[in-house]
Amino acid sequence: MAQFRVGSGSYQFASNVTIDLSSINANSVSVETVAVTGVNTDTSYNVDCPTLDAGLFILGAICTTPNVLTISVWNSTNGAVNPASTQVFRIIGF
């Protein structure tokens, strides 16, 4: 995980992680637990994936155990979606 300073303020952490999301049922939320070295419970995280399948949206992420990130992904479509296994997610802690 890389560390960088934002202006003269606090440090942020960034990482790119490949995640194989499970299939997500129509109009459902999938909660994915992923090992991410360096995440911790006293930091907020923003997660994005520019290549995420159409109709899927990242609702949020939280770390309740060091080095483990829980990500919620919503399938807004009327059919199940099985995302590609090579999705690269950008994780920024602030």
At 76, the pLDDT band (50, 70, 90 cuts) reads very high
- Average pLDDT of the residues of the chain: 89
Q: What is the rounded average pLDDT of the residues 59-84?
A: 96
Mean pLDDT over 51-74 rounds to 96
Buried b / exposed e over 7-44, threshold 16 CB at 10 Å, is eeeeeebebebebebeebeeeeebebebebebbeeeee
| The pLDDT of residue 7 | 53
Count of CB atoms situated within 10 Å of the CB of 54? 7
Band (14; pLDDT cuts 50, 70, 90):
confident
Q: Lowest-confidence range among 1-15, 36-50, 52-66?
A: 1-15
Q: Could you tell me which residue, 27 or 15, shows the higher pLDDT?
A: 27
- pLDDT confidence of residue 9: 57
Taking the model in full, what pTM does it have?
0.85
